[in-house]
């Protein structure tokens, strides 16, 4: 008995996702230094705020999809579900002249319903997440085009709506400190998402499903119900992202959105969320989202053509996933 | 003694093609450790899976504390207080110890969805204290040894107030010190009145831990005896005592002495420990042992399917390095997996494609096209030579019977010009008639000068087919027997000879 070895919980920190999170953060710092040295236009207040705003939409999407990835699932539909949500907000506010808050609610609810549909397809109908959400990607994309009549929906009648993203609550309190609301929403949601992941039953089962679904089932966890809830939550985040996006552009653009899902998944993976499930943090995901938007922004400032920015992002994603595989092989 | 807590009577269970349990029975008293033993396939695990609601029974009854109960699913067993710890542990490696134990029943902090992590940890700590176990509830399960993970499973079972604890081969992956700690905990539980079922292959272990032993054979109940009054020899006798249904062994003529394969001091982690043996031309070398003894691992290592940590492999008198199955095939080694459908065949393809799969290079024309007339001719030849029953060589393999599928695989390796063939459980899932055909085929292959390793968990098969028998236990070769020396009893003795016994005997 005396020889019983006690393993400290801290022992695992450096061999787990924390390592990748630290790497991602270090990478972010390096990116900032490199771009600052390369261009005087990079480290300016307006450009940094630009990066923050650019991160808002992708970051919120990434927060949602982080839950799904931790369960060892995937959601490819978040990009176009975001678009559909934005269009529904436009329908409520511009087409039907309803109050802004109702439009926002409609957008978020649309996202949640799409997520619910994903969850039912995956947990009840037993479709593989890849296929189910690929189907939803196209359904949402098509619906967005049909409902909008292929044209952008503008919010010109309701100037309040634009303030949701581009106004600054902080700026009103502390003059000169004009951080746009979209950024505040991102950070607020990140804290909320982290609390849900770490302090609630839903979060616990998110990890449990990704770690060993069968063990969770045998322990009496209602796997189907919780999985549905997790996809619904992911959809709701996509809905929120849709509202932020629409408010920022002051319009719902029905043809925008596809491809955003990959940036969001990339953000989660760069931040240490494992595609094989069971591991991940919201802090990591936010760092990952900043890595991507900083990279895109910096390359644009250096006048690297758009096509090459895409190539670079692709390479980063491949490297991040490869790092995850190496890490897994070692343990 | 008090009332039995569990009584199982007349349990019947059939799976397609297999009568797994026939009139099986078992009883368990509170405060005893009851060992359940038998050869592979004797029905021990099946019986316990019936008790814990994993399999429904076809007939028979289960009494719990004197009352007949229906146990439709694992949850129902858990609620009754019957917990099982499977050989494959069912934990969530990314979660902490405490989180694993209380998954699905977490303490809440005020709000219904908010976790009270402190209380969960406190409850787990309390549980460990009652087990006299030093374990930090906040440790991630991933960071624990298998032994400690098992303790977590036991703690989890106890947290359901288990009165019956079933452990399926709990010591299989443990070191001796770890086993001692496990047994201490089992004894504590016994003293607290828990009934423990201990399924094990390690007979000498029974003496240390169990009060009674029930022996099963071929899905039937054989006997229940008090451990203290029974010798290990008597238990082995009961385990293997079936009448051998095969006629006399069909041994081909004495093997040619040329050694075609020699393995020296092969090592791989914990699963292959210093394995050395020779295989001669024209010989069938039986590899006996219990499931998990490391026989398949040795085969896979020789075949290059798994990396090795050390040791030498000599083929036809030359040292070779086999880094991949391609290397092995080039050296003329073929491996016929125990899981034909997963590793041996492309089920959706036809007989012809499967037969030529490992030797495509031989059928390529000058431009790299496959010459289908030659592949067809070769396949026809194999179908004739091996008597594969198929309507045509275009028949999809998944439509053939198990025995004919096995022949297709043999045809594949013969086409690939291999002369060292490793058969892993060659007759698993094959009906009796086809079995004897496979046996004839193995014999004639040996007579043609092929060297054959036959891994089998069926002792009669080993005895009937082998010129020599190598017995493994826990990654070691514990014995080598000539055909004359090999009996069910002698093989069983070596197959249950754990490391510590070996050391005692030699030291």
Burial of A240 (0-12, 13-18, 19+ CB in 10 A): buried
pLDDT for the residue B6? 95
Residues of A in contact with B150 (CB under 8 A): none
Q: Quote the CA–CA distance of B22 and B38 in Å, as a whole number.
A: 15
Pick from B90, B104, B148: CB nearest A214: B90
Length reported for chain B: 507
Query: Could you tell me which of B417, B433, B486, B419 has the C-alpha nearest to residue B456?
Result: B486
Pick from B94, B108, B133: CB nearest A207: B94
Q: Is residue A125 part of a domain?
A: yes
Buried b (16+ CB within 10 A) or exposed e, B186-195: beebbeeebb
Q: Is residue A318 part of a domain?
A: no
Q: Which residue has the tokens 């991630």?
A: B140
Q: Is residue A216 part of a domain?
A: yes
User: Could you give the number of structural domains in chain A?
Assistant: 1
* Six-digit token string for B22: 């026939």
pLDDT for the residue A11? 40
Query: Could you tell me which of B349, B356, B327 has the C-alpha nearest to residue B420?
Result: B327
The set of residues, in sequence order, having a beta carbon less than 8 Å from that of A77 and lying 6+ positions away, is: A114, A118, A133, A134, A135, A136, A137, A139, A140, A238, A261
First to last CA, chain A: 28
What letter would DSSP give residue B28? E
In angstroms, the separation between the Cα of residue A152 and the nearest Cα of chain B is 40
Residues of A in contact with B114 (CB under 8 A): 199-201
Q: Is residue A13 part of a domain?
A: no
pLDDT for the residue B206? 87
Length reported for chain A: 331
Pick from A201, A204, A218: CB nearest B90: A218
* Complete DSSP assignment for A75-114: -S-HHHHHHHHHHHHHIIIIIS---HHHHHHHHHHHHHHH
Burial of A193 (0-12, 13-18, 19+ CB in 10 A): buried
In this predicted complex, what is the ipTM? 0.85
Q: Is residue A188 part of a domain?
A: yes
Average pLDDT taken over every residue of chain A:
90
Q: Which helix (H) or strand (E) holds B222?
A: strand B220-226
Chain B residue with minimal CA distance to A280?
A: B94
Contact call for A201 and B94, based on CB within 8 A: no
pLDDT for the residue B266? 94
Contact A185/A244 with Cβ under 8 angstroms? yes
Q: Which domain holds residue A213?
A: 41-259+275-280
What letter would DSSP give residue B343? I
B78 part of contact set with chain A, CB < 8 Å: yes
- Domains, chain B, in order of start with CATH, read 1-81+162-242 (3.40.50.300), 92-159 (no CATH), 254-332+419-507 (3.40.50.300), 346-417 (no CATH)
pLDDT for the residue B502? 54
Query: Could you tell me which of B449, B481, B479 has the C-alpha nearest to residue B468?
Result: B481
Contact B435/B427 with Cβ under 8 angstroms? yes
Give, to the nearest 10 degrees, the angle between helix A181-199 and helix A223-249.
Answer: 170
Chain A residue with minimal CA distance to B90?
A: A215
Q: Quote the CA–CA distance of B421 and A285 in Å, as a whole number.
A: 52
Q: Is residue A309 part of a domain?
A: no
Select the residue from B101, B103, B184 to test the A interface by mutation, using most A Cβ atoms within 10 A: B103
Can you say whether residue A174 is alpha, beta or left, with left for phi > 0 and alpha for psi between -120 and 50 degrees?
beta
pLDDT for the residue A1? 34
Q: Is residue A310 part of a domain?
A: no
pLDDT tens for the 507 residues of chain B, in order: 578 999 999 999 987 656 789 899 999 999 999 999 987 668 888 899 999 988 999 999 999 999 999 999 888 898 899 999 987 788 999 999 999 999 988 999 888 899 999 999 999 999 999 888 889 999 999 888 888 898 899 999 888 888 999 998 888 777 778 888 899 999 999 999 999 999 987 777 888 899 999 999 888 899 999 999 988 888 888 887 654 444 444 555 554 568 999 999 999 988 899 999 999 988 999 999 887 789 999 999 999 988 999 999 999 999 999 999 889 988 999 998 877 777 778 878 889 988 888 887 788 888 778 888 888 999 998 898 888 888 888 888 888 877 788 889 888 888 888 889 999 988 876 666 677 778 888 888 888 889 999 999 888 888 888 989 999 998 999 999 988 888 888 898 898 887 655 555 553
Residues of A in contact with B90 (CB under 8 A): 212, 214-215, 218
Q: Quote the CA–CA distance of B179 and B199 in Å, as a whole number.
A: 14
First to last CA, chain B: 42
Pick from B95, B134, B143: CB nearest A4: B134
Query: Could you tell me which of A293, A272, A305, A311 has the C-alpha nearest to residue A15?
Result: A272
Q: Quote the CA–CA distance of A73 and A88 in Å, as a whole number.
A: 27
- Number of Cβ pairs < 8 A linking chain A and chain B: 89
Whether residue A268 is predicted with pLDDT greater than 80 in this model: the reply is yes
Chain A residue with minimal CA distance to B73?
A: A218
Q: Which helix (H) or strand (E) holds A63?
A: helix A45-70
Whether residue A70 is predicted with pLDDT greater than 80 in this model: the reply is yes
In angstroms, the separation between the Cα of residue A161 and the nearest Cα of chain B is 33
Whether residue A120 is predicted with pLDDT greater than 70 in this model: the reply is yes
> Taking an 8 Å Cβ-Cβ cutoff, which residues of chain A contact chain B?
1, 3-4, 6-9, 11-12, 16, 199-204, 207-208, 210-212, 214-216, 218-221, 278-279, 331
Q: For A100, what's the count of Cα atoms within 13 Å in the CB-facing half-sphere?
A: 15
Q: Is residue A75 part of a domain?
A: yes
What letter would DSSP give residue A152? -
Cα–Cα distances (Å) from A211 to A118, A206, A293, B151, in that order, read: 21, 9, 30, 19
Q: Quote the CA–CA distance of B293 and B288 in Å, as a whole number.
A: 9
The DSSP bridge pattern shows strands B220-226 and B59-64 to be unpaired
E strand map for B30-146 = 33-37, 59-64, 67-69, 82-85
Task: Categorize the per-residue pLDDT at A9 as very low, low, confident or very high, splitting at 50, 70 and 90.
Answer: very low
Q: Quote the CA–CA distance of B160 and B153 in Å, as a whole number.
A: 11
Contact B72/B187 with Cβ under 8 angstroms? no
Pick from B115, B140, B142: CB nearest A200: B115
Q: Quote the CA–CA distance of B388 and B392 in Å, as a whole number.
A: 10
Q: Quote the CA–CA distance of A49 and A64 in Å, as a whole number.
A: 23
Three-state DSSP at A40 gives: coil
Chain A residue with minimal CA distance to B160?
A: A219
Pick from A1, A9, A216: CB nearest B136: A9
């Amino acid at each position: 008995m005396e020889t019983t070895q006690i393993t400290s919980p801290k022992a695992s920190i450096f061999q787990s996702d924390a390592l990748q999170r630290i790497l991602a953060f270090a990478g972010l710092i390096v990116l900032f230094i490199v771009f600052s040295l390369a261009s005087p236009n990079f480290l300016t207040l307006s450009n940094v705020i630009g990066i923050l705003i650019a991160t808002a939409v992708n970051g919120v999407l990434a927060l949602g999809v982080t839950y799904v990835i931790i369960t060892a699932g995937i959601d490819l539909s978040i990009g176009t579900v975001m678009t559909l949500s934005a269009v529904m907000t436009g329908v409520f506010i511009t087409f039907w002249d309803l109050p802004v808050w109702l439009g926002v609610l409609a957008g978020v609810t649309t996202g949640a319903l799409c997520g619910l549909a994903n969850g039912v397809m995956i947990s009840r109908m037993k479709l593989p997440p890849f296929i189910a959400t690929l189907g939803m990607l196209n359904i949402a994309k098509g619906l967005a085009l049909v409902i909008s009549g292929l044209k952008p929906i503008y919010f010109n009648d309701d100037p309040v709506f634009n303030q949701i993203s581009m106004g600054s609550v902080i700026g009103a309190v502390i003059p000169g400190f004009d951080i746009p609301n979209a950024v505040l929403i991102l950070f607020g949601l990140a804290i909320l998402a982290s609390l849900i992941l770490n302090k609630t039953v839903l979060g616990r089962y998110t990890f449990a499903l990704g770690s060993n679904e069968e063990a969770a089932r045998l322990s009496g966890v209602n796997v189907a119900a919780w999985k549905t809830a997790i996809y619904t939550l992911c959809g709701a985040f996509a809905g929120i992202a849709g509202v932020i996006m629409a408010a920022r552009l002051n319009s719902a653009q029905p043809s925008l959105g596809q491809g955003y899902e990959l940036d969001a998944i990339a953000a989660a993976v760069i931040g240490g969320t494992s595609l094989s499930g069971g591991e991940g943090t919201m802090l990591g995901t936010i760092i990952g989202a900043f890595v991507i938007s900083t990279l895109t922004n910096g390359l644009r400032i250096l006048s690297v053509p758009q096509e090459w920015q895409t190539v670079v992002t692709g390479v980063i994603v491949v490297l991040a996933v490869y790092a995850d595989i190496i890490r897994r092989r070692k343990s | 003694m008090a009332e039995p807590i569990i009584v199982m009577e007349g349990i019947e269970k059939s799976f397609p093609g297999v009568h797994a349990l026939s009139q099986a029975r078992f009883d368990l008293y509170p405060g005893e450790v009851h060992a359940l033993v038998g050869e592979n396939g004797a029905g021990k695990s099946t019986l316990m899976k019936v008790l814990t609601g994993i399999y429904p029974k076809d007939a028979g009854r289960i009494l719990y504390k004197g009352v007949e109960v229906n146990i439709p699913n694992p949850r129902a067993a858990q609620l009754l207080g019957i917990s099982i710890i499977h050989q494959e542990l069912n934990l969530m490696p990314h979660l902490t110890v405490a989180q694993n134990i209380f998954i699905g029943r977490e303490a809440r902090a005020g709000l219904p969805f908010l976790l009270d992590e402190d209380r969960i940890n406190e409850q787990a700590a309390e549980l460990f204290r009652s087990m006299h176990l030093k374990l930090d509830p906040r440790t991630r399960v991933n960071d624990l040894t298998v032994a400690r993970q098992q303790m977590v499973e036991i703690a989890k079972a106890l947290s359901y107030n288990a009165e019956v604890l079933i452990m399926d081969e709990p010591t299989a992956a443990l070191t001796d010190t770890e086993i001692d700690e496990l047994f201490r905990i089992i004894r504590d539980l016994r003293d607290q009145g828990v009934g423990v079922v201990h399924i094990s292959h390690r007979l000498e272990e029974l003496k240390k831990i169990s009060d009674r032993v029930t022996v099963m054979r071929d899905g039937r109940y054989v006997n229940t005896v008090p451990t203290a009054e029974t010798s290990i020899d008597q238990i082995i006798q009961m385990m293997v005592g079936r009448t051998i249904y095969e006629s006399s062994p069909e041994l081909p003529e004495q093997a040619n002495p040329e050694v075609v394969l020699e393995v020296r001091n092969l090592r791989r982690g914990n699963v292959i420990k210093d394995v050395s043996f020779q295989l001669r031309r024209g010989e069938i070398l039986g590899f006996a042992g219990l499931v998990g003894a490391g026989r398949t691992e040795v085969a896979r290592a020789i075949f290059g399917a798994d990396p090795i940590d050390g040791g030498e492999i000599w083929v036809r008198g030359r040292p070779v390095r086999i880094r991949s199955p391609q290397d092995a095939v080039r050296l003329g080694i073929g491996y016929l997996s125990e899981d034909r459908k997963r590793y041996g065949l492309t089920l959706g393809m036809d007989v012809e494609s499967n037969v030529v799969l490992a030797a495509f290079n031989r059928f390529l024309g000058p431009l790299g096209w496959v010459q289908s007339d030659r592949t067809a001719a070769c396949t026809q030849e194999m179908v004739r030579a091996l008597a594969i029953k198929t309507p045509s060589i275009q028949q999809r393999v998944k439509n053939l019977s198990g025995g004919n599928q096995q022949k297709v695989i043999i045809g594949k390796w013969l086409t690939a010009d291999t002369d060292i063939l490793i058969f892993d459980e060659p007759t698993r899932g094959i009906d009796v008639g086809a079995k004897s055909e496979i046996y004839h085929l193995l014999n004639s292959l040996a007579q043609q000068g092929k060297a054959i390793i036959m891994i089998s968990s069926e002792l009669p098969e080993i005895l009937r087919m082998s010129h020599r028998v190598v017995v493994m236990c826990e990654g070691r070769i514990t014995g080598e027997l000539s055909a004359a020396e090999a009996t069910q009893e002698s093989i069983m003795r070596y197959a249950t000879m754990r490391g510590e016994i070996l050391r005692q005997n030699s030291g």
